[in-house]
Amino acid sequence: MQNPSETDRAFSHARDFDPMPFEIDFTGYMSNTVVVRWMEMLRVQMMRRYFSEIDTGSWEHLSVVTRTEIHYANPVRYGELIRGTTWVEDIGRARWRVGFAFQNTFQRNLAISARQDGTFLNPESLRPVRVPEIIRKRFFALTHAVA
């Protein structure tokens, strides 16, 4: 999984995570289930920051994750500070892709890289619909801007 440079990351959003003792499994490393929760926190915060008019909790903007891919590059342990970053990798007609990177701020190494694919659904039929126009327009304008 490729990690683009900061300048290639559309709608980048970051926050720090401090793994708690209850998030560490019997091996002494962070439980795999924690990563998915952190990804969701980052993705929802990114949507609120860059697309506040899209209410991610409303029925008419129903969006689901259809695929999650996680690469564990280095272990995460209790007491480490992890900087999580998310960004929009791609927007299609009815599909979106969001990338993630989790870096250990003490060791300055990449701990985890990940991505999620998803789609918006019609609230009545639960069938995929086009990504909201405002999201597609902003993504296209940002990624196709003339330097």
Q: Helix, strand or coil for residue 133?
A: helix
| CB-based contact 84:139 (threshold 8 Å) | no
Q: Catalogue all structural domains in the chain, each as residue range(s) with its CATH number.
A: 8-143 (3.10.129.10)
User: What DSSP string describes 29-95?
Assistant: BB-HHHHHHHHHHHHHHHHHHH-TTS-TTSGGG-EEEEEEEEEE-S--BTT--EEEEEEEEEE-SS-
pLDDT tens digits for 57-111? 666 678 899 999 999 999 999 999 999 999 999 999 999 999 999 999 998 999 9
Predicted TM-score (pTM) of the model is 0.85
DSSP structure class, residue 24: B
**44 touches 56 (CB < 8 A):** yes
Query: What per-residue confidence (pLDDT) applies to 32?
Result: 85
Q: What is the pLDDT of residues 39-53, one digit of tens each?
A: 999 999 998 898 887
**pLDDT tens digits, 11-39:** 999 999 999 999 988 787 888 899 999 99
CA distance 81 to 101: 13
Q: Are 19 and 106 in contact (CB under 8 A)?
A: no
